[in-house]
Amino acid sequence: MSQFRVEAKSRDEQYKKMMSVLETYRAEPSDPSSALKAARMRSLFNGYRLTQAYKEDTKVAYVVEQFPNEIVFGFNMLSWNMESMAILLAQTVNVDPFINLTQEKSLSRDICSFLRGSLGVMLANGYPNPDLVMVNDQPCDCLAKVGNMSSKLYDCTFLSINTPNQINEDTLAYLVEQLKKLIADIESNLNIPFDEELFRQVVQYSNEARDYYCKTVELNKTYELPGVSRELLEIFGMNGFGLKENVQICKTLYEEALEMSKQSDPNKKKKRILWAGQAPHNDHELIRYFEQQVEIVYWAPLWEANLVSLDPEDPLTSIAERAILYHWNAERLKENISQVCTSFHIDGVVISNIWGCRNMMGISSMIREMSGEQGLKYLTISVDYVDKNNYAFNHVKNRIDAFLEIMSD
């Protein structure tokens, strides 16, 4: 596979290939979140960004999860999250050929299917060729490796930053210097200057959106708000903080959540489970089955890093602090998940172990330990939302039924 190169780099042809896949996907609006105006706005905006990425004059940066996209937006570049796009494709009926292509190229099946899906689309030349590939070493080293491999596939510049695990003056200074070097390297490789005025505006938009996001989180602690926790997860996954459009999406979601809270009956609340780990799309059979009996609260959008605003006077330092908070530090994550379970009045925890995800396997024991300390029921399920060879609903249904029965007691 290391010898493979993407030769045909016409974004017009790549766009046609992507559309041939997506045109088979027709989502039915049967899930609660689809009724939210914010969800429809986000979907339309993501569709617009997708089409823009295939235009020849668009500067496209491949990035990984939780990359500091404010810097990308400061160059007026479009960020293309390799893993999130693979998740989108996993919702179509045509993802199997991409997975099969990676196996033909001898990529191990033991690797996370989200990453194999990303590489499969690249091998099929369905992604827009990037101008740059940029990674940090979170949430996993495998995702950073996919970024490195993709830069070789497209024969383009690869830039990376190393994020320390601990927060102190030295680690913050170390990471800030890397961010400054990253900006200089982007300027050098693209031959365009970093727009300081645009960056200040990006930081402002990031904070405005984050303010609405945090206020929505606060409402969700007290009230049962169908679809809201899921939409917070989708906004987190989009990683569009810094874009003007995301301010409007977050504002709309807050306004909808506020109206829903006024009509919420505290005496008719379902029991709550916290979903820890990657989640399938919001109309997946697993989600629909759980939501017949319980309310799902997603943990990922409630991480401490997601609630951090940037300092307009020193944005790079606050970006660095947020990046470190995103690191999967077991001690910090345990404290965070414990606080979330308390403040959201969680009754049980579902640990979703994804095929090949070493991160979730690594922290699963910590989550089970925390659940035991708080007297919470917990369930671990091993699933695969991309490669259908590794998942069947019947394989986990009996365990889910037993868990839900205990939850109903």
Q: What phi and psi, each to the nearest 5 degrees, are found at residue 284? A: -65, 150
Q: What is the number of alpha carbons within 13 Å of residue 247 lying toward its C-beta? A: 11
* Tens-digit pLDDT profile for residues 121-143: 888 888 999 999 999 987 777 78
- Helices 82-90 and 113-123, packing angle to 10 deg: 90
pLDDT of residue 24: 58
* Tens-digit pLDDT profile for residues 233-272: 999 999 999 999 999 999 999 999 999 999 988 777 789 9
Checking if the pLDDT of 33 tops 60, the result is no
Close Cβ partners of 377 (under 8 Å, ≥ 6 residues apart): 347, 348, 349, 371, 403, 406, 407
Position with higher pLDDT, 125 vs 17: 125
* Tens-digit pLDDT profile for residues 325-381: 998 888 899 999 999 999 999 999 999 888 777 777 778 889 999 999 999 999 999
pLDDT of residue 49: 92
Mean pLDDT for 109-121 is 83
* Tens-digit pLDDT profile for residues 150-187: 999 899 999 999 999 999 999 999 999 999 999 999 99
Predicted TM-score (pTM) of the model is 0.92
For residue 276, the SS3 value is strand
Distance, in Å, from the CA atom of 131 to the CA atom of 133, rounded to the nearest integer, reads 7
Checking if the pLDDT of 69 tops 60, the result is yes
What is the chain's alpha carbon radius of gyration, rounded to the nearest angstrom?
Answer: 21
Query: What percent of the chain has pLDDT above 90?
Result: 60
Termini Cα distance of the chain: 53
Strand order across the 157-161 sheet: 78-81, 60-63, 132-136, 157-161
Mean pLDDT for 32-36 is 67
pLDDT of residue 259: 96
pLDDT of residue 195: 94
Query: What percent of the chain has pLDDT above 70?
Result: 93
Spell out the alpha helix ranges (H) of 313-392: 315-325, 330-343, 358-374
Q: Where are the domains of the chain?
A: 11-193
Q: Which of 96, 93, 103, 98 lies closest to 82, judged by CA?
A: 98
CATH of 11-193, one of 1.10.1030.10, 3.40.50.11890, 3.40.50.720, 3.40.50.40: 3.40.50.11890
Distance, in Å, from the CA atom of 364 to the CA atom of 350, rounded to the nearest integer, reads 10
pLDDT of residue 29: 47
Residue 211: DSSP 8-state: H
Mean pLDDT of the chain: 89
Checking if the pLDDT of 86 tops 80, the result is no
Distance, in Å, from the CA atom of 151 to the CA atom of 148, rounded to the nearest integer, reads 5
| pLDDT band of 102, cuts 50, 70, 90 | confident
Residues in the chain: 409
Calculate the alpha carbon distances from 197 to 69, 78, 142, 191, 374 in Å. Answer: 16, 18, 35, 18, 48
Distance, in Å, from the CA atom of 135 to the CA atom of 259, rounded to the nearest integer, reads 39
| pLDDT band of 107, cuts 50, 70, 90 | confident
| pLDDT band of 34, cuts 50, 70, 90 | low
Q: Which of 229, 223, 347 lies closest to 282, judged by CA?
A: 229
- Residue written as tokens 């996907």? 25
